[in-house]
Amino acid sequence: MVAHSELAFRTLAFEHGATLAYTPMMHAKHFAASANYRSGNFDFDPSIEGAAHGRPVIAQIAANDPELASQAVRILASTGVDGIDLNLGCPQGIARKGNYGAFLLPQTSKVEAVLSAMVAASDGVPITAKVRIQDDLESTLRICKAIQSTGVSLLTVHGRTRENNKTNLSPASHEAIRAVVESLDIPVVANGGVERPEDVPAILESTGAAGVMSSEKLLELPSLFAPGAVGDAELTELEVMERQLALTREYLVIAAEHFPISYGGAGGANCVKSHVFKMMYRLLDLPPCHGLRAKLGGMKDRNYDVSNVAAVVEEVAALLHDERRPLLTNESVSWYRRHRRPQAPPPTIGSVGTMSERKARIRERVEKLRADRITTAATD
């Protein structure tokens, strides 16, 4: 995730159940040629992450030239990262212009040349790749088998084509991912369509994949992979709000210690703000918070401090905890759903049971809390 899977966010994700993380994607050409580019885009810290710490990290690059890819790999292999990934799934316009990512993927001979060169230059560090499915299953399987033949150790498959992105989304094809799993001998990770914690075991079962990757939803819900995590439908509006505030606060504490690097001039401040916007998307979208959203957006790198963002977060918390605060409603749109066309009804917050039943559940919780307090007082 360019400018989003930085050290601070990786740390947060690991704290909440993630078992593998990727660095932001880097351009092999610039990475190999420029020390300034490396210092401004690569933040792997072997003192606190990596397999030795139970937090394996894979460095991801974009490349279309075997020699430049090899040069980047040789440098990365000496840093202690646990793997090096070739991004063959990026569908953005800049990837089209640079002929990398999902636009390089159909050029099978060039993909094979780049990956083979990376494997040869890696000094034993595993090389992996991430792809998107093609318009037909036959092409998808042909390309994935060709990639496997280069010696890569793992393949991640996004179950959408390169045209299926942003506002033009269709459900991820877990059937296609399963076909890839059954056709290859190397581990396959399933990507796409992960919206709630219960989706993870369901996708593992439906695809037969060795793992599940998330990008967009994880940015909004870093605890997606946490053991025992439940979807919004099992929570009240207040519980959702408290969860998002807690995750945001935790991220800001980590970011204060490991402030994001510049990421090509975008600035560490922008990286922090972007994470906060995503984790607090629904809260900031409530009308009373629009002014605070604008205040947060107006912060610049100059004279920037994480404490400034933290102060705004606490203003939001205070406003929404006021007795007149508006609750998150079932019509609230998550950041994950912001561009998605309604193919299926989005999961609603507290959607288990009718409104009366939900209120009854809340009253039961309140009564239980009161009873617990009385019991505690009686035993003191």
pLDDT tens by residue, 36-67: 999 999 999 999 999 999 999 999 999 999 99
Question: How high is the pLDDT of residue 375?
Answer: 45
Tell whether the model's pLDDT for residue 377 goes beyond 50. Answer: no
Q: What is the pLDDT of residues 226-241, one digit of tens each?
A: 999 998 888 888 888 9
**92-101 as b/e: b if 16+ CB within 10 A:** eeebeebebb
- 289 shares a domain with 190: no
Round to whole Å and give the CA distance between 154 and 147.
10
Over the stretch 99-130, which tens digit does the pLDDT of each residue have?
Answer: 999 999 999 999 999 999 999 999 999 999 99
User: Which residues share a beta bridge with 128?
Assistant: 85, 154
- Secondary structure (3-state) at 182: helix
Residues 174 and 126 placed together within one structural domain of the fold = yes
Residue 123 falls inside a structural domain? yes
Amino acid at 148: Q
Residues 2-15: tens digit of each pLDDT: 778 999 999 999 99
Catalytic residue among 90, 144, 271, 289: 90
Say yes or no: 195 and 287 in one domain.
Answer: no
Assess if residue 349 is contained within a domain.
no
Give the best-scoring range by mean pLDDT among 18-27, 288-297, 351-360.
Answer: 18-27
With respect to residue 87, please indicate whether it lies within any of the assigned structural domains: yes
What amino acid is encoded at 241 in this protein?
A: M
Picking from 321, 344, 373, the residue at the C-terminal end of a domain is 321
Q: Is the pLDDT of residue 330 over 50?
A: no
Last residue of a domain, one of 195, 229, 263: 229
Question: Do 294 and 191 belong to one domain?
Answer: no
Region of 231 (left: φ > 0; alpha: ψ -120 to 50; beta: rest) is beta
Q: Are residues 202 and 258 in the same domain?
A: no
The answer to whether residue 167 sits within a structural domain is yes
Domain annotation covers residue 267: yes
CATH number for the domain spanning 35: value is 3.20.20.70
pLDDT of 298: 83
Average pLDDT on 339-362 reads 54
CB atoms under 10 Å from CB of 57, counted, come to 26
32 falls within a domain = yes
pLDDT at residue 319 is higher than 90:
no
Beta-strand relationship, 57-62 and 211-213: unpaired
Residues 220 and 243 in one domain: no
- Please indicate, yes or no, whether residues 58 and 136 belong to a single structural domain of this protein: yes
- Domain count of the fold of the chain: 2
What pTM was computed for the model? 0.86
Give 236-278 pLDDT, tens digit per residue: 888 889 999 999 999 999 999 998 886 544 467 888 989 999 9
pLDDT recorded at residue 333: 73
- Residue 343 pLDDT grade (very low, low, confident, very high; cuts 50, 70, 90): very low
Q: Is residue 145 within 8 Å of 185, Cβ to Cβ? A: no
What is the average pLDDT score of the chain? 87
Of 92-106, 127-141, 351-365, least confident by mean pLDDT is: 351-365
State yes or no: is 90 an active-site residue. Answer: yes
Whether residues 30 and 136 share a domain: the answer is: yes
Q: Look up residue 231 and give its two tokens.
A: 């979807």
Query: 305 pLDDT exceeds 90?
Result: no
The mean pLDDT of 157-161, rounded to a whole number, is 96
Of residues 57 and 1, which shows the higher confidence score?
57
Q: Is residue 326 part of a domain?
A: no
Does 168 reside within a domain?
yes
Do 276 and 165 belong to one domain?
no
Parent domain of 133: 7-229
In this model, does residue 173 exceed pLDDT 70?
A: yes
* 225 and 112, same domain (yes or no): yes
The better pLDDT of the pair 164, 306 is held by: 306
Average pLDDT over residues 287-314: 83
The full length of the chain comes to 380
